[in-house]
């Protein structure tokens, strides 16, 4: 079995993010200041968790590489620095009781926001480079390879969706108050939102497709690993061909869902109140995915039965 050498900078960043999440979680209990409608420490908490999950996943996957290992290692180290800069600014500005994102109210805040924007672009480019390395390596059977490679590609797209939030809105241009950009579409940031996540429950929110797309890096590989675990006890999933087909369905469904969520956010429609063509499309995607999975599993069950009954 191939030995995995974890990417140490990313691994230590994940450890640091776990500690930070605990610290800001405690801070949120005692510090009840509010920024854009939510507790001042919620944003650092969410980012610490997200960056931690991203870091440990990429650390593991880079550690499994053979080809392009050095390129991926350097890219991972640069991404670590970019994320560290991002988190230092987010936590530092939160401690002052202000918002870090889209804040261009003073030259100092503009410099901080520009630094954050530059660092996250660097992280995006480095993730793309690591993704290229994934296509030069194998992570096991065909189903695993497909899940990992698709996961990083969708994650890069999901990370890129953050750029949709950075343009100033019409209302901001008409009455500029030092904020240029927004998470929500339809009203200013700070309205009613889901607990902890903060995603708007009244209008569109671009953080949703950004989050869903970015974490394809975890969801799709975990999906194939789940299929493998079940396949040890259920014959239809023991077939690599069946798992590849199910992974293809999962990828198509994930990408379609990401498209629907982006459409919904840009249409200023809340995640909790889908309607019209968006709701219809979501239903069609769900039904199509379920039917496709049933067809694949039925074929897999038939093949497994034939193998067991053939003398």
Q: Are 83 and 223 within one domain?
A: no
pLDDT at 3: 65
Q: Are 16 and 34 within one domain?
A: yes
Domain enclosing residue 290, as ranges = 143-311
Q: Are 186 and 238 within one domain?
A: yes
**Lowest-confidence segment of 28-37, 64-73, 84-93, 243-252 by average pLDDT:** 28-37
Q: Calculate mean pLDDT across residues 283-306.
A: 83
Question: pLDDT at residue 303 above 60?
Answer: no
Q: Tell me, what CATH number does 124's domain have?
A: 1.20.120
Q: Are 181 and 129 within one domain?
A: no
Alpha-carbon separation of residue 107 from 15, 70, 96, 101, 104 (angstroms): 33, 39, 16, 14, 7
Phi/psi region, residue 186 (left: phi>0; alpha: psi -120 to 50; beta: rest), is left
Q: Are 191 and 290 within one domain?
A: yes
pTM (global) more than 0.85: yes
Domain count, the chain: 2
Q: Distance between alpha carbon 142 and the CA centroid of its chain, in Å?
A: 23
Angle between helices 142-160 and 207-214 (to 10 degrees): 150
Q: Are 84 and 210 within one domain?
A: no
Residue pair 210/48 in contact by the 8 Å Cβ criterion? no
Q: Are 161 and 289 within one domain?
A: yes
Q: Are 212 and 286 within one domain?
A: yes
pLDDT at 1: 45
Q: Are 189 and 238 within one domain?
A: yes
Q: Are 295 and 161 within one domain?
A: yes
Given 119, 137, 155, the domain boundary residue is 137
Q: Calculate mean pLDDT across residues 73-97.
A: 94
Nearest C-alpha neighbor of 256 from the set 279, 217, 282: 282
Q: pLDDT digits over 239-291, tens only?
A: 999 999 999 999 999 999 999 999 999 999 999 999 999 999 999 999 999 99
Residue pair 10/58 in contact by the 8 Å Cβ criterion? yes
The listed range with the strongest mean pLDDT (8-22, 160-174, 189-203) is 8-22
Q: Are 175 and 122 within one domain?
A: no
Q: Are 197 and 303 within one domain?
A: yes
């Amino acid at each position: 079995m191939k030995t995995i050498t974890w990417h140490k900078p990313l691994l230590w960043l994940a450890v640091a993010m776990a500690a930070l999440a605990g610290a800001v979680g405690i801070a949120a209990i005692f510090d009840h200041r509010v920024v854009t409608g939510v507790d001042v420490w919620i944003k650092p908490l969410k980012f610490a968790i997200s960056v931690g999950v991203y870091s440990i996943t990429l650390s593991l996957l880079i550690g499994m590489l053979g080809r392009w290992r050095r390129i991926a290692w350097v890219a991972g180290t640069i991404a670590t620095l970019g994320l560290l800069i991002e988190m230092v600014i987010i936590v530092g500005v939160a401690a002052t009781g202000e918002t870090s994102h889209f804040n261009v109210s003073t030259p100092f805040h503009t410099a901080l926001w520009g630094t954050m924007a530059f660092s996250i672009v660097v992280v995006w480019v480095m993730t793309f480079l690591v993704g290229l390395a994934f296509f030069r390596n194998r992570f096991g059977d065909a189903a695993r390879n497909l899940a990992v490679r698709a996961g990083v590609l969708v994650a890069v797209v999901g990370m890129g969706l953050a750029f949709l939030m950075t343009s100033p809105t019409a209302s901001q241009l008409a009455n500029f108050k030092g904020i240029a950009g927004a998470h929500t579409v339809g009203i200013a940031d700070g309205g009613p939102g889901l607990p902890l996540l903060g995603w708007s429950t009244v209008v569109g929110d671009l953080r949703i497709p950004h989050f869903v797309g970015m974490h394809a890096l975890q969801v799709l590989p975990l999906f194939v690993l789940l299929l493998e675990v079940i396949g040890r006890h259920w014959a239809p999933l023991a077939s690599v061909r069946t798992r590849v087909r199910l992974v293809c369905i999962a990828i198509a469904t994930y990408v379609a869902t990401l498209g629907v969520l982006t459409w919904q956010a840009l249409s200023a429609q809340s995640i909790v109140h889908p309607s019209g063509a968006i709701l219809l499309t979501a239903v069609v995607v769900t039904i199509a995915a379920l039917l496709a999975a049933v067809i694949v599993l039925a074929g897999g069950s038939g093949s497994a039965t034939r193998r067991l009954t053939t003398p």
